[in-house]
């Protein structure tokens, strides 16, 4: 699966969980939070898509996705990324 396509799929999953994205420039890596009741995932748009995917995969690992429909190919890709992140701590 292409990186951009996978990132779009992940953003859709995150949206289904009630979070919205903000991509901005700044001196931060990114992360997720709740700000004044608004669930946000902040991404530094200066970082590559692979970095954003790693951040989103880490976020999704904290969520219960069991009952959520996720395309089989996307779920497989999420599993592959989670394994990569466990093995290589340098991927953020």
- Tens-place pLDDT, residues 45-65: 999 999 999 999 999 999 999
Specify the number of domains making up the chain: 1
Q: Is residue 40 part of a domain?
A: yes
Q: What average pLDDT does the chain have?
A: 90
CA distance linking residue 58 with residue 88, whole number of Å? 13
Q: Is residue 38 part of a domain?
A: yes
* Across 33-42, average pLDDT: 88
Residue 69 pLDDT exceeds 60: yes
Work out the percent of the chain whose per-residue pLDDT is above 70: 96
Q: Answer yes or no: are the C-beta atoms of 13 and 70 closer than 8 Å.
A: yes
Domain holding 72, by residue range, is 3-87
Q: Is residue 92 part of a domain?
A: no
Q: Is residue 60 part of a domain?
A: yes
- pTM for the structure as a whole: 0.84
């Amino acid at each position: 699966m292409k990186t951009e396509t996978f990132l779009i799929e992940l953003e859709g999953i995150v949206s289904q969980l009630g979070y919205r994205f903000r991509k901005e420039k700044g001196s931060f890596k990114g992360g997720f939070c709740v700000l004044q009741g608004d669930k946000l995932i902040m991404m530094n748009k200066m970082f590559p898509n692979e970095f954003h995917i790693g951040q989103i995969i880490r976020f999704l690992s904290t969520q219960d996705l069991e009952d959520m429909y996720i395309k089989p190919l996307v779920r497989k890709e999420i599993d592959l990324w989670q394994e990569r992140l466990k093995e290589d701590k340098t991927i953020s």
